């Protein structure tokens, strides 16, 4: 830093202000310092800085199911928000959600001296493990329900499912099936509960439920099965990939969407608007979810664990895959 200050013709403190994005530096001085940094190839000594601040400026992010759109984009939202706050991200992805794998991943983060941990594994095993493990740094759980020991950032999955079902009810559908995700995933269980509750509130009987595994293949198999169900006119799929598989199955069975059967998905992945027909779906707001998550983590880092919950309401995106029943 002293070399940079000498070349730029400024004080050591001014270089420090530029590096820390302090606002009280003129644009002209900032450019001069940045030119000196580039010319000298200067990089901050993060190890020395950590000794002074007792902060690593890094967070650990533990995720699972990242092959699927929802978990992957929640992870991207968290990474983007962390970078905007000047934090590096160390990521670990679980191939299987077991207590041993969870404990090993959390221990790995602690050995790296991360300032905090974000968990994107809304799974029953994960919740049980977090209740049994004491972590020495702030931790935010994404997608969990409110819990007295956890700081939580989540999307209201039940409300999202209710939006999907109510849209179909408003169109006049009375036989509404559900292709669910795996029920040991908390998001899937909440969407199934939201589907049931919305039907009950509308005074409708519970429709056919077929479990899937988040994949388009499981949606396709469920769609073939649902094609043989009489008088069924609508399907709510727990994610867009399963909805995509169901659309193909219905086409092969000779059912037109939305003329013969309406389909609603969940996630609003970028391709949803280009399905045939374009898919009505639920948008979760992953960018906002990531921003809230990092904001809560930094707050807990400054003030101690809060146990607070920030819940984001999703929104329905209506496209061409839904219509009134014939």
Confidence of residue 55 (pLDDT cuts 50, 70, 90): low
Q: Superfamily for 54-155+286-313?
A: Response regulator (3.40.50.2300)
Q: CA angle, corner 131, sides to 125 and 133, nearest 5?
A: 100
- Name the average pLDDT for the chain: 91
| Other beta carbons less than 10 A from residue 28's beta carbon | 8
Instruction: Break the chain into its structural domains and give their ranges.
Output: 2-44, 54-155+286-313, 157-284
Q: Please give the pLDDT value at position 51.
A: 47
| Mean pLDDT, residues 192-217 | 97
One fold for 2-44 and 54-155+286-313 = no
Mean pLDDT of 228-243: 96
Rounded mean pLDDT, 216-243: 97
- Residue from 145, 121, 159, 160 nearest 239 by CA: 160
Does residue 209 carry a pLDDT above 60? yes
Q: What is the mean pLDDT of residues 112-119?
A: 92
- Residues in Cβ contact with 291 at an 8 Å cutoff, skipping those fewer than 6 apart: 77, 81
pLDDT at residue 170 greater than cutoff 60 = yes
Checking if the pLDDT of 142 tops 60, the result is yes
Most confident of 34-48, 87-101, 188-202: 188-202
- CA–CA separation, 97 and 124 (whole Å): 9
State residue 146's pLDDT score.
Answer: 59
> What confidence score (pLDDT) does residue 48 get?
54
* CATH architecture assigned to 157-284: 3-Layer(aba) Sandwich (3.40)
Q: What is the share, in percent, of the chain residues with pLDDT greater than 70?
A: 95
Q: For the residues 74-89, what does the mean pLDDT come to?
A: 90
With 80 as the cut, is the pLDDT of residue 133 above it? yes
The pLDDT value recorded for residue 49 is 57
pLDDT digits (tens, 9 = 90+) for 249-261: 999 999 999 999 9
Residue 148 pLDDT exceeds 70? no
pLDDT of 72 higher than 60: yes
Whole-angstrom distance, CA of residue 179 vs CA of residue 222: 7
Least-confidence region, from 73-87, 202-216, 224-238 = 73-87
Q: What is the pTM assigned to this prediction?
A: 0.80
- Per-residue pLDDT at 17: 83
The CATH number of domain 2-44 is 1.10.260.40: yes
């Amino acid at each position: 830093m002293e070399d940079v200050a000498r070349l730029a013709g400024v004080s050591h403190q001014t270089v420090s202000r530029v590096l820390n994005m302090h606002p009280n530096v003129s644009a002209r001085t900032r450019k001069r310092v940045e030119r000196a940094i580039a010319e000298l190839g200067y990089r901050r000594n993060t190890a020395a800085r950590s000794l002074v601040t007792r902060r690593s400026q890094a967070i650990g992010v533990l995720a699972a199911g990242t092959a699927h759109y929802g978990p992957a984009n929640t992870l991207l939202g968290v990474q983007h928000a962390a970078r905007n706050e000047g934090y590096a991200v160390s990521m670990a992805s679980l191939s299987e959600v077991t207590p041993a794998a969870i404990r090993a991943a959390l221990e790995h983060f602690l050995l790296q001296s991360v300032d905090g941990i974000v968990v994107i594994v809304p799974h029953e095993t994960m919740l049980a493990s977090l209740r049994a493990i004491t972590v020495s740094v702030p931790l935010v759980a994404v997608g969990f329900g409110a819990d007295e020991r956890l700081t939580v950032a989540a999307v209201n999955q039940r409300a999202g499912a209710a939006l999907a079902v109510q849209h179909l009810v408003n169109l006049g559908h009375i036989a509404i099936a559900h292709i669910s995700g795996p029920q040991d995933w908390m998001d899937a269980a909440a969407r199934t509960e939201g589907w049931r509750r919305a039907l009950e509130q509308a005074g409708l009987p519970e429709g056919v439920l077929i479990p899937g595994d988040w994949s388009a293949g499981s949606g396709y198999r469920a769609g073939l099965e649902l094609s043989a169900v009489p008088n069924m006119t609508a399907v709510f799929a727990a994610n867009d990939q399963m909805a995509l598989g169901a659309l193909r199955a219905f086409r092969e069975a000779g059912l037109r969407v939305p003329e013969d059967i309406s389909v609603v998905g969940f996630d609003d992945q970028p391709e949803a608007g280009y399905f045939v027909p374009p898919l009505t779906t639920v948008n979760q707001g992953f960018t906002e979810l990531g921003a809230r998550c990092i904001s809560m983590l930094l707050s807990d880092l400054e003030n101690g664990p809060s146990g607070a919950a920030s819940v984001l309401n999703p929104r329905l995106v209506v496209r061409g895959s839904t219509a009134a029943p014939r």
